[in-house]
Amino acid sequence: MATVKDWLASFRLRTLPLALSCIFGGSFLAYAGNQLNTNVLIWAVITTILLQVLSNIANDYGDGVKGTDNEDRVGPVRAIQSKAISPQAMKKAVIINAILAFVSGTILIYTALKDASLTSIFVFLGLGVFSILAAITYTVGKKAYGYSGFGDVFVFLFFGLIGVFGVYYLHTLQLSIHVLWMALFTGFLSTAVLNMNNMRDIVNDKKSQKNTLVVKLGFEKSKWYHTFLILGGVVSLQIGFTVWELPSIFYIAFIPSFLFLKNAFFVHTNKKPELLDPELKKLALGTFATILLLWLGIWVY
């Protein structure tokens, strides 16, 4: 029988900072404009955590039942792979978590949009359902999009454009093109984490017919793609500083960018996919740290 430790491991809590980057990023911009809604921030964080955990356990289930998570896998051993949790138990957990994410998302929408138009409410309800389905179908099902090379697109959308623009709107009830730089920053860096994860797994994914974008591009071309994503994130950050005319104190947020560039160089010169695993956490935490440093800058200022 699975233990609490087994379940916590399957939740992959180390992925949460990256998932929360877009939430805190969009909320930072709302705060900078004196429009932060604390209740929206709280429920957005809860909903995002539930969606990320849902994605993680659904990924464990999908790759587990398909046999993609096997003895040749390079990264951490997964719950179904190790038989710590049965496929049946994991499937039930996916369903329960999906329900919790829907309830939490509905509370978030009510909290933010109770006085807004019905159109706004239905749009966000639709996005909420879409988010839940996307979290599950990345690896689950016969037409799982993660097996067809579309994972990068969905990560860029949800961890970037939808995440940042969505939470900013829930705070302010406004859309602004000036938010785009933050959406691009979190989107590019989140996609870079996925790309590096898929580069690490390229050998086993190819054997398992999991046709990620890395498998389609090949290991060497994926390095150039990774460099593009990293540079895209750093340039987007600089654009944001220019657009918002942020004071010099905010440049502390560029400190992690040196780690991003170091990561791009390491990936570009690396020959062994398995050596990329430790770099995943560094890139994810660096992205989150950038957002936290922006918050620190505005508090100090």
| Residue for token pair 């000036």 | 178
Boundaries of every domain in the chain: 4-300
Q: What is the pLDDT of residue 246?
A: 85
Reported pTM: 0.96
Q: What is the pLDDT of residue 128?
A: 97
Q: What is the pLDDT of residue 76?
A: 82
Q: What is the pLDDT of residue 93?
A: 97
Q: What is the pLDDT of residue 69?
A: 82
> CA angle 68-69-72, nearest 5°?
95
21 closest CA partner among 57, 58, 52? 52
pLDDT tens digits, 39-67: 999 999 999 999 999 999 999 999 999 98
Regions in the chain scoring below 50 on pLDDT: none
Amino acid at 127: L
Q: Which residues are CB-contacts of 286 (< 8 A; sequence separation ≥ 6)?
A: 189, 256, 259, 260, 263
The correct answer on CATH 1.10.600 for the domain covering 4-300 is yes
Q: What is the pLDDT of residue 111?
A: 97
Q: What is the pLDDT of residue 75?
A: 76
Distance CA 255, CA 244 (A): 19
Distance CA 202, CA 214 (A): 7
